[in-house]
Amino acid sequence: MFEYDLREEDACRCIVARGRVDALSAPDIQKLLDRLVLDGERLLLVDMASVNYVSSAGLRVFLAAQKQLTKVGGEIIFIGMNTQVFKVFRMSGLANVFRIAGSTDEVLHLIEQGRAGAIVAIEPIEGARMEYVERARGKGTIFAIGSPDKTAGSAYGEKDVVPVEASRMQFGCGLATLGERYEEYKELFGESMVVKGSFFFYPAVKHSSVDFLLNAEEDPGTVYRFLHGFGFDGPYRYLISFEGRERPLDLTSLAKGFFAISAASVLGVVIIAESKGLWGMHLKKAPLMEQRPDNGKSIFDDKNFSEWVDFPVEPTYANHAVVATGIAVRDRESVSPQMQSLMAEEGNFHIHGAIFEKTPLNKNTNGFDGELLRIFNELQVYKIQHILGRSRFSGGMAAIIELDG
């Protein structure tokens, strides 16, 4: 019979196992490991001191979890094996696959060694744990594209399209598309984002799908077509890992946490996170002059809203991977009118996010760009949305670029 307790050890979970680890207990162990990984745990400790029997069939479930965790910078570390249990590990060829420690103190020493160079900020906001690494000093730049003023009246035409060379834009978001001839692409404008030179957009049409162009900035001939938006670039000032220990973090609180770390007034942000329920919205139709409402009212008017805007009344896409980018300001009133125009009235940030399939995520900031590449190249992407402040995340990573503004 297999039994267990869970305890906290230096901000990671420890499974205190008892009894038998065998073929009969393997399904229960699998469910436990799956739940912990889904909850955002990446470093799992397993105290084996009270385990009196193991079989190769039982250990296989730990091997499967180890393979899953190593892809995202995590691992399982075993503690306190007796001689007989260790012998089965060795016979099964697993003694060199896992790190095995004699005591909890030894494990905590290994963890601290792995954190060398990181600055730990415990709960800069209530209920959140953040660790950050300081990178290159220096500020990035931001530029506005077009104007959002014609959105509500669905009044855009061909002369309002702003071409932006992909090579100019490292990060950004807005209402955009790809194409050469206006007549071909005009109805394909939608929520878009650029992350590390890769472009994603979600055309505002029925039965839409995300279209994307990876590493678009490397092709000097690629041109984005924007109705409005913004772009920014610059070096990462901070790389942050974050986690909601007691409850998920909402986007508004997460942004406040970023400003607890950075002293800048304006930030460009890139977020990789695990959703615990997204509040997002996107247009169903491109706001073109020929598509404006017959009643002459705003597309956001109560009479037109449901026809024009996809806005779920409940959070969606729980446990999905999300990559998001945009800007945030510390104090809306202290920034320029142009900067204010890039955000909704009374808003302090403007962020678009891509929703990908469910997967464990790497939370090691040293692998931030590598995790972006893995997600972009390997995972199915479902939507691009304007992400609202109530959206919640269990944890993830963020790159912060301090901007002039």
Residue 130 lies in a domain: no
Residues 226 and 319 in one domain: yes
Residue 345 lies in a domain: yes
- Amino acid identity of residue 205, one-letter, is V
Residue 167 lies in a domain: yes
Q: Which residue in 354, 387, 333, 343 sits closest to 142, CA to CA?
A: 343
CB-CB contact of 248 with 278 (8 Å): no
Residue 177 lies in a domain: yes
Number of domains in the chain: 2
Three-class SS state of 368: helix
Q: Which residue in 164, 163, 160 sits closest to 149, CA to CA?
A: 160
Q: What are phi and psi of 80, to 5 degrees?
A: 65, 45
Q: Which residues contact 182 (CB under 8 A, 6 or more apart)?
A: 158, 161
Domain that holds residue 61: 2-116
| pTM of the predicted protein model | 0.79
Domain boundary among 116, 132, 161: 116
- Six-digit token string for 224: 């984005």
Residues 213 and 165 in one domain: yes
How many whole angstroms separate alpha carbon 248 and alpha carbon 278? 11
Three-class SS state of 306: helix
Q: Which residue in 338, 328, 387, 378 sits closest to 356, CA to CA?
A: 378
Residues 370 and 253 in one domain: yes
Residue 275 lies in a domain: yes
Residues 15 and 83 in one domain: yes
Residues 112 and 145 in one domain: no
How many whole angstroms separate alpha carbon 105 and alpha carbon 247? 28
Output the tens digit of pLDDT for each of the chain's 405 residues. 889 999 887 667 899 999 999 889 889 999 999 888 877 788 889 998 899 888 888 888 888 888 888 877 788 999 888 888 888 888 877 777 888 888 878 877 776 665 545 565 656 667 778 888 888 778 999 999 999 999 999 999 999 999 999 999 999 999 999 999 999 999 999 999 999 999 999 999 999 999 999 998 888 889 999 999 999 999 999 999 998 877 899 999 999 999 999 999 999 999 999 999 999 999 999 999 999 999 999 999 999 999 999 998 899 999 999 999 999 999 888 888 888 888 988 789 999 999 999 988 988 888 899 999 999 999 999 999 999 999 999 999 999 999 986
Residues 151 and 218 in one domain: yes
Residue 123 lies in a domain: no
Three-class SS state of 85: helix
CATH number, domain of 9, equals 3.30.750.24
DSSP state of 131: E
Residue 134 lies in a domain: no
